[in-house]
Amino acid sequence: MSGIEPTTLPLQPQEFYVLSQMTEVMTYADLKTRCIGVAEFEASVVRLLELGAVTSSEYTIASAEVAQSEAGPTEESPAKESPANESTPQEEISGGDSHDAIAESKVASTKGSGPALRSDQPSRAVEALPEPTGLPDVEPVPEDDSRLERGIALDVDFQRCVLAAVDLETGINAFRVLGIGPTEDQRRIKRAFHALSRKLHPDAYFGQELGGYAPRLEKLFTLAKSSFTTLKESAARDTAMSEWFEDESQRRERAVVVAEVSAEYELGRRKAADRKRSERNQTRSMDRARRRANTNVENREQQVEALRVQAQSETESGRGGEALAILHRAKSMLGGSGPLFQKIEADEKKIGKIRGKEAYSRAVRARKMKSSKEAAALFDEAAALSPTLEYLTEAAISMAAYNPKRAREHAMGALSVLARRQGEGSASAALVGRAHYAAAVAFGAAGLMKSARSAARQAEEYLGDTPDLRALLKSLRVT
């Protein structure tokens, strides 16, 4: 057949049916097996050729041969004369309908005439119709229908067909009741009726359990008998045939719609499945990354704890500088936050106090030995390691002669700590006066005379008249 889509052609139901029955091995010798008359079949083929639905040269040749046979016998193939009142076996079988017999005679009379088909030409044939199945041609009810019964004499598939046919009842076509397609062949109709009757007749299940299906089988048996009677009459059969073609066309349209809806649903289902799979994979990837991160954190914390232990060991061995360097490396591994980071800062303060105390003791000894420069460096180290009020005060005083800028920084730190200590009520008058004296010395060395004089007056309030303060006031020209 051609590549034209049949649904786009203006086909009559009969022409559509003929086109749907054609296969790759069809010949005119098989016309007598068709389920419609030969004359109707020929007209349908000619129409299909005109519309381009059929392109095989065999149909054209066969149509020409039939036309030639209708024109009269040829010299090569004289027609046989038959008595006019002698009926053929085909006429007897079809109950007086001579379409099939006439067509068979026409095809036989044309054999040997006209051009022969080459072996390389494609031939087409209509499939032999299958034997009746003994089941109505209906869409079975779903497998989960509540009316289906287990453990009775009827199998589930047969129950589904019976329920579907009974549900339709008056709206079902006579051909579909018998489970066959449209046909003029009374033998085929009769065989279909007998095949169905063997499954529906009340005597077929004598003494067997039918559950609630006994009345349904009786109703369907009555419907089958009515359909068989209807298809015996030519006019009623033609009507049923037309209805079948119309119903078949609607079925095809519904099948297309169902296929489109199913395809759309399947596409949506696949997209949803892909989306869920993608989300699941993303979740798994995030979980793996989180586990790796947690593992890294655990490993890093273990390494930091090991460094803390090492720093403690260095501190106990008197190597505070090495201990602080180790703690600094541990802090850089943590990124500046967290409980462990705070522990390391506490460790640093602890070590700083120890080292600051040691540096302050050495500074005091150096000052007693009149090594003012060494004392200043040691006081500066002590203040940097442990910025207490006492260390900052002495560092500001001793550094004023060597590094005024550094001295001013220590003085500012001392005043800040002093303010906090005074708020807590933990600063003695002597310590407060000493801190203001240190600020006056550092500010004076840095050239901040106004701030220096103010600090000196505050120091005088706490210390009174001392030689060092009088000398300072004189240098600042405060009398």
- Residues 92-116 pLDDT 10s: 333 333 333 333 333 333 333 333 3
What are residue 126's DSSP bridge partners?
22
User: Are the C-beta atoms of residues 227 and 174 closer than 8 Å to each other?
Assistant: yes
Q: Which of 259, 246, 174, 255 is closest to 16 using CA atoms?
A: 246
Query: Does 72 reside within a domain?
Result: yes
* Spatial distance between the Cα atoms of 307 and 295, rounded to a whole number of angstroms: 18
* Spatial distance between the Cα atoms of 478 and 470, rounded to a whole number of angstroms: 9
At residue 13, the pLDDT reads: 67
Q: Which of 64, 97, 126 is the last residue of a domain?
A: 126
| Band of residue 67 on the pLDDT scale cut at 50, 70, 90 | very low
Three-state secondary structure call for residue 23? strand
The pTM of this model reads 0.38
Q: Which of 126, 149, 167 is the last residue of a domain?
A: 126
Residue 103 domain boundaries = 6-126
Q: Which of 96, 126, 156 is the last residue of a domain?
A: 126
| Band of residue 81 on the pLDDT scale cut at 50, 70, 90 | very low
Ramachandran angles phi, psi of 126, nearest 5° = -90, 135
Query: Does 369 reside within a domain?
Result: no
Query: Does 269 reside within a domain?
Result: no
Crossing angle (nearest 10°) for helices 234-316 and 320-334: 170
Q: Quick one: DSSP state of residue 204? A: G
Question: pLDDT at residue 164 above 80?
Answer: yes
Question: pLDDT at residue 244 above 80?
Answer: yes
User: Are the C-beta atoms of residues 110 and 77 closer than 8 Å to each other?
Assistant: yes
Q: Measured in Å, how far apart are the chain's first and last C-alpha atoms? A: 128
Query: Does 155 reside within a domain?
Result: no
With the C-alpha atoms ordered 255, 261, 267, 272, is the resulting torsion angle positive or negative?
Answer: negative
The domain tally of the chain equals 2
Secondary structure element (H or E) that encloses residue 99, with its range: helix 99-109
Percentage with pLDDT > 70 across the chain: 75
Q: Which of 220, 212, 202 is closest to 165 using CA atoms?
A: 220
* Spatial distance between the Cα atoms of 286 and 305, rounded to a whole number of angstroms: 28
Token pair for residue 72?
Answer: 């009269």
* Spatial distance between the Cα atoms of 28 and 47, rounded to a whole number of angstroms: 16
* Spatial distance between the Cα atoms of 245 and 240, rounded to a whole number of angstroms: 9
User: Are the C-beta atoms of residues 392 and 414 closer than 8 Å to each other?
Assistant: yes
Q: Which of 147, 144, 180, 152 is closest to 162 using CA atoms?
A: 147
Distances (CA, A) of 63 to 58, 59, 113, 121, 466: 8, 6, 13, 16, 143
Query: Does 217 reside within a domain?
Result: no
Q: Which of 61, 76, 35, 455 is closest to 245 using CA atoms?
A: 35
Query: Does 54 reside within a domain?
Result: yes
| Band of residue 20 on the pLDDT scale cut at 50, 70, 90 | low
User: CA-based Rg of the chain, rounded to a whole angstrom?
Assistant: 57
Dump pLDDT digits (tens) for 373-384.
898 999 898 888
Dump pLDDT digits (tens) for 279-313.
999 888 888 888 887 787 778 878 888 888 888 88
Query: Does 24 reside within a domain?
Result: yes
Query: Does 237 reside within a domain?
Result: no
Three-state secondary structure call for residue 24? strand
| Band of residue 172 on the pLDDT scale cut at 50, 70, 90 | confident
Half-sphere exposure of 85 (CA within 13 A, CB side): 0
| Band of residue 37 on the pLDDT scale cut at 50, 70, 90 | low
Which bin fits 207, alpha (ψ -120 to 50), beta or left (φ > 0)? left
